[in-house]
Structure 1
Amino acid sequence: MTTGDADHATGDRVPTPLNKKVITAWSLWSWGNSTVSAVMVTFVFGTYLAAEHFGPDDRGAQWLTTANAIAGAIIAVTAPVIGQRADRAGRRRLWLTINTFLVVGLVAACFFVKPEPGFLLLGVTLMASMTLFNEFAELNYNAMITDIADSSRMGRVSGIGWGSGYLGGIVILALVYFTLVAGDPPHAFGLGEDEAINIRMVAVVAAVWFLIWALPLLLMRPPTADAAAGQDASKLSILQSYQRLFRLILGLWRQDRNTFWFLASSALYRDGLSAVFTYGAILGVGVFGIDAGDILIFGIAGNVVAALGAFAGGWFDDRIGPRQVIMFCVVSLVVVAAALYFLDVEREIFGITLTPTASFWIFGLALCLFVGPAQASSRAFLARLAPPDRAGELFGLYATAGRSVSFMTPALISLLLWAIGGQKSIIIGVIVILGAGLLMLLLVHNPTGRAKMVEHGLR
């Protein structure tokens, strides 16, 4: 029984103090990992691949969304089995380490993507592979929260982790902006802009950044439930692992509908949350007229706002419950995104003239404010449900639930880009996915105990 279980069972009002050293190392991994989403996916390399030097007619954006859809499909069919086998073998930290190093290598390899159409396939392949292995790393990373926080404090610990990630994103974005992106060449590192060498060097800096801040957790052996799992995953074949997964899903449907509907609803709205950051910079540059260099300044401001939202959301999470936090944030995101859709031209609102650039700054930052707490509370919600010795399996199912529909968002956006034209149509796709997740979230209530991870059928 974990600390959280003991507290719940005995009604102990004085829970064991949190291990600050372990939580710090755990949060530093998120601080370093922020370079993947902030620098590579959103504000630098994703925008770089979507630029016209890789081909006309939004070719870069379409290829990138297609590659992300393929990566999402792979994650959907493999993540829960990977988590399940890591749990059973007691190798959660080992696989976190392996996948972290794979991500670092793939990020660094993006240096070789030159601004020519012939390098587009290499670029989107590296980015999709990076996304794939980063998801596997996060699966094991997220499962660790069940070992370092009890149920009554999972909201704040999850918020600290997410907030640390956003703050790390601020620092790394500022670093690459002022040393490699801003100003006229030569830049601070003595690099010019021939063949976009300064942008490509961002990938090298990003890889080193992640490696440095991941090491404290990778070199530490925190108290986890891994060793207590006591079952060797090698005793199960791959086929048996999938059979076990299907039995688990049937068991949730029959005995724990709340967990089942949370996994289903979060699959949709979390994909919408990811799309806000994935396509935000592309929209800022391509639709609202933000300068490609200034988009990094927006990224820094956006991470500040998202971090504040995550910290505040963690506090509210522990007091009013994660469902209420998530519901409020998703509703707010739909409203703000809908408003932003109509603000790509100059408009007068309440006697104030808003340019597209000003609108993007105001409403884009509002989106960032609500994304942070929704992400943190979603992780805390599932962590309260997860039995510690099967947390990796449940977080793997969480990843699969998301990725099983994650192809829908890039596929929908690709379809909208083709059918409607113009990058503004990306906003429609995001609203549709968030709205669908919101409707399904109405079937969910706050967790009241561990998930009933029993198996049915397929005997």
Structure 2
Amino acid sequence: MDPEEVTTSLEASEGAGLRKITAWAFWDWGSQPWNTVITTFVFAVYITSESFGSTNHTSQMLALSTAIAGFFVAVLAPVLGQNSDRSGRTVRNLRWQTWILAAVAASLFFVQPSPEHLILGLVLLGIGSVVSEIAGVNYNATIEQVATPTTVGRVSGYGWGFGYLGGIVALLTLYFLFVQPEVGLFGVTGEDGMDIRVSMLMCGIWIAVFTIPALVALKDRPRPRAPRVGVIQSYKLLFGTVRRLWKTSRHTVWFLLASALFRDGLAGVFAFGAVLAAGTFGMNAGEVIIFGAAANIVAGVSTILFGLVDDWIGPKKVILISLFALVALGLVVFFLHDGGKTVFWIAGLGLTAFVGPAQAASRSFLARLIPEGKSGEIFGLYATTGRVVSFLSPAAFGLGIWIGARVTGEENTQYWGILGIVLILAAGALAMLPVKEHTHHRI
């Protein structure tokens, strides 16, 4: 079957005006505090602080919990993704998953700064990460409601960049209201970690409120409902899809495998970036938040601009440019880690400038290929292939720390973890090189 014989979801779409696209992008804006505030710049730093144990121990435990969460995403994504496709309830499922994510974020308030609460914090963090990923599958599937083949790059970049800008607003709001003042809003202080814990409560409210425009604007499209299938049958269908892709569009399979590698590396940059800022470069909580705000400005602007480039030169080139730049900047962080905060500010901001463009271009690459009525299934497969290897970056980060301790004999070898992330990014870039442009694929 020739690619021209298949009508893709984007080809069948009429697209949308800026108003609806912005409403769609508000899900990125609203859900971003989970990624920016919780898993990167605030809660991840809090849970790896000395209040919960030694830096090496808490960092390795965070890496372990992240890997376990990735395993559960890999197991659940095909079942839940197919359920959305077959039931025609993608938006309804997205709505419930968003509300659950808001509740989990708010529940982090109960994680007090003591070693006894380390496991509670990591379990909640893991559950939220699973919910966030599954919700992301359904959200990605809705891009067909707002984009066409000629606009998908800029729409994807706009949504991702809009999310980063939402992250900076959330970070600065929480920083100036609760973290920075000795006595913040409502009389909140740093005693018993209350400034961080209240910030988590506010993240839950943020997610619930700011995702409303997307959940109102997006509608489930009427379609014949397919019969429900069990877990085993869901996996049979998944393997059938993979076999069909291997026969008819092998480069699509290679793209899924390559993107699984580099997306895991991209996640590692953000998951452990703030941890390195605090544990290796000596930034305090306030400095990490300020860095996070600057990082989100850079990431948001660069992702929106690269979205325009995506529609011009194609997503593959955007992905490769971003990955090779990330590898180079990651090595700068490792070799110049003794240079202090200035090194991290320069190299760290450079890293954030290329993470978002690679993520958005990867989404637009796949969106261009999906046949009409298959968005949930294919984006579910996209999530599954990504999560199958999601243990790699956390494991490589933790292993890097362990190797560094054995090689150098130093007490804090956290900076060696960046080599693990660089290795994953490099592997993803090399795997992406032989993949053909999206115009040569079919599904």
- TM-score normalised according to structure 2 size: 0.94
> What is the SS of the residue equivalent to 1:389?
coil
Q: Which amino acid aligns with 2:415?
A: K
Moved more, 213-222 or 156-165: 213-222
What is the SS of the residue equivalent to 2:285?
coil
Distance in 1, matches of 2:44 and 2:398, equals 15
Displacement of 1:386 in angstroms is 1.3
Q: Deviations over 1:117-160 (max 9, x none)?
A: 11111000000000000001010001101222111110000011
Q: Structure 1 residue 243 and structure 2 residue 236: aligned?
A: yes
Query: For 1:366 and 1:413, how far apart are their aligned partners in 2?
Result: 20
Q: 1:337 aligns with which of 306, 311, 330?
A: 330
Gaps of 5+ in 2: 1-6, 406-412
Report 1:51-62 matches (<5 A): 51-62=49-60
1:368 is the counterpart of 2:352: yes
Comparing 58-67 with 144-153, which one deviates more in the overlay?
58-67
Alpha-carbon deviation of 1:450?
Answer: 6.8
Name the residue aligned to 2:41: 43
Q: Which residue of 394, 406, 410 corresponds with 1:410? A: 394
Q: Tell whether 2:264 aligns with 1:271.
A: yes
Any unmatched runs of 5+ in structure 1?
Answer: 8-15, 347-355, 453-459
Distance 2:74 2:367 in 1: 20
Q: Could you tell me how far apart the structure 2 residues matched to 1:106 and 1:309 are?
A: 30
Report the residue type matching 2:365 in the other structure: F
User: Counterpart of 2:283 in structure 1: which amino acid?
Assistant: I
The correspondence of residues 71-150 of structure 1 with structure 2, limited to 5 A, is 71-150=69-148
- Residues 383-394 of structure 1 mapped to structure 2, 5 A cutoff: 383-394=367-378
- Residues 303-314 of structure 1: matches in 2 within 5 Å? 303-314=296-307
RMSD: 1.6
Q: TM-score, normalised by structure 1?
A: 0.91
Task: Give the structure 2 partner of residue 155 of structure 1.
Answer: 153
Partner of 1:215: 212
Structure 2 CA distance for partners of 1:19 and 1:3, relative to 1, 3 Å: farther
Q: Give the residue type in structure 2 aligned to 1:294.
A: E
Match of 1:177 in 2: 175
CA shift digits 1:68-97 (9 cap, x unpaired): 111101111221221112111101011101
Asked whether the equivalents of residues 86 and 225 of structure 2 are also in contact (C-alpha less than 8 Å), the reply is yes
Over 3 Å counting, the alpha-carbon distance change for 1:36 and 1:233 in structure 2 is farther
Query: Structure 1 counterpart of 2:98, which letter?
Result: T
Q: What's 1:227 paired with?
A: 222
Cα distance, 1:233–1:24 mapped onto 2, change above 3 Å: farther
Letter in 2 for 1:338: L
TM-superposed deviation, 1:336: 0.9
Task: Tell me the CA shift for residue 59 of structure 1.
Answer: 2.1
Output the CA distance in 1 between the equivalents of 2:67 and 2:9.
Answer: 39
Residue 337 of structure 2 aligns to a residue in which SS? coil
User: Which one of the candidate residues 370, 374, 379 is aligned to 2:363?
Assistant: 379
Q: Which moved more, 1:298-307 or 1:238-247?
A: 238-247
Q: Which residue of 1 aligns with 2:22?
A: 24
> Could you tell me which amino acid in structure 1 is paired with residue 198 of structure 2?
M
**Alignment match of 2:342 (pick from 358, 366, 370):** 358
Aligned 8 A contact 1:31 1:165 in 2: yes
Amino acid at match of 1:379: R
Counterparts in 2 of 1:420-439, with a 5 A limit? 420-421=404-405, 422-439=413-430
The separation in 1 between residues aligned to 2:93 and 2:226, in whole angstroms, is 15
Could you tell me which amino acid in structure 2 is paired with residue 329 of structure 1?
A: S
SS at 1:345's partner residue?
A: helix
Q: Is residue 397 of structure 1 aligned with residue 381 of structure 2?
A: yes
One-letter code aligned to 1:208: I
| Distance change in 2, residues 1:316/1:275 (3 Å) | same
CA contact (8 A) 1:386 1:450 kept: no
- Offset of residue 22 of structure 1: 2.3
Contact 2:78 2:384 in 1 (8 A): yes
Residue of 250, 257, 260 corresponding to 1:257: 250
CA contact (8 A) 1:80 1:396 kept: yes
Q: Aligned partners of 1:138 and 1:411: how far apart in 2?
A: 23
Secondary structure of residue in 2 paired with 1:145? helix
Report what 2:309 is aligned to.
Answer: 316
> Following TM superposition, where does structure 1 have runs of at least 4 consecutive aligned residues deviating by more than 4 angstroms?
none
- The C-alpha deviation readout for 1:43-84, integer Å capped at 9, x for no partner, is 000000001111125222222211111110111122122111
Secondary structure in 2 matching 1:114: coil
Measure the CA separation in 1 of the matches of 2:30 and 2:12. Answer: 33
Deviations 1:205-253 (A, max 9, x none): 111111111112223343x5x422x23241x222111101001111111
C-alpha displacement of 1:6:
5.6
Q: Give the distance between the partners of 2:97 and 2:425, measured in 1 at CA.
A: 29
Q: Is the 8 A contact 1:417 1:423 kept in 2?
A: yes
Report SS of the residue matched to 1:5: coil
| Residue identity matched to 1:129 | I
- Correspondence for 1:294: 287
Is 1:5 matched with 2:2? Answer: no
Q: 1:196 to 1:17 in 2, by over 3 A?
A: closer
How far apart, CA to CA, are the structure 2 residues paired with 1:205 and 1:385? Answer: 38
Aligned position for 1:281: 274
Q: Could you tell me how far apart the structure 2 residues matched to 1:80 and 1:451 are?
A: 20
Q: Could you tell me the percent identity over the aligned residues?
A: 41
